[in-house]
Structure 1
């Protein structure tokens, strides 16, 4: 009998540098399903508006989106929290589920490039 190698555990890609260009490249490489929304939001919020003052808010939103989406387990957990909150008939339970999701969103904002 031959031994089979265990399936490799997918690694979570590191966070990119905190620039729109680096974040876009990371999204394109690791979470391409987010790219159309990223590009549309960039055009609407920054490029077409001719307003670079919106870049910090844009980066905060997409930093968090990528931070969650790059980790399949975390992404699934967040989807589960939202699904359970949506289906809950108990207001207290739904609120607790959404608070947990919000806490995770705040935590991923603290991630630094390379983490």
Structure 2
């Protein structure tokens, strides 16, 4: 037997099917801190207006939010980049940090269900 137990790293849950119901269920299960904002945004942008033309933009925003939030390490990394940028007094450094965070946000938009 080893003196140290193997460190368990929880697996990042897969992306859900790309529809509002499946995304909401995934958020409720794996990123519940986002759920109130998700529901509020849904009511404001879609349910109260009966305007389904807003669904693609809604899905794009929340797809990315969930993709980052479902992975605690990635979420912490993006938050750190943005926090460091907000505190930087060097414009070049701040821009670089924000570009790195933006790059991650754009990359997660490309994720497909199951990834």
Identify the residue that residue 32 of structure 2 maps to in structure 1. Answer: 32
Q: What does residue range 13-52 of structure 1 map to in structure 2 within 5 Å?
A: 13-52=13-52
**Counterpart for residue 77 of structure 2:** 77
State the distance in 1 between where 2:91 and 2:3 align.
Answer: 51
Give the drift of 1:49: 1.0
Q: Check if 1:88 corresponds to 2:53.
A: no
Unaligned runs of 5+ in 2: none
C-alpha separation in 2, matches of 1:34 and 1:55: 18
Aligned pair count reads 115
| TM-score normalised to structure 1 length | 0.96
Higher mean alpha-carbon deviation, 98-107 vs 2-11, is at: 2-11
Q: CA RMSD in A?
A: 1.1
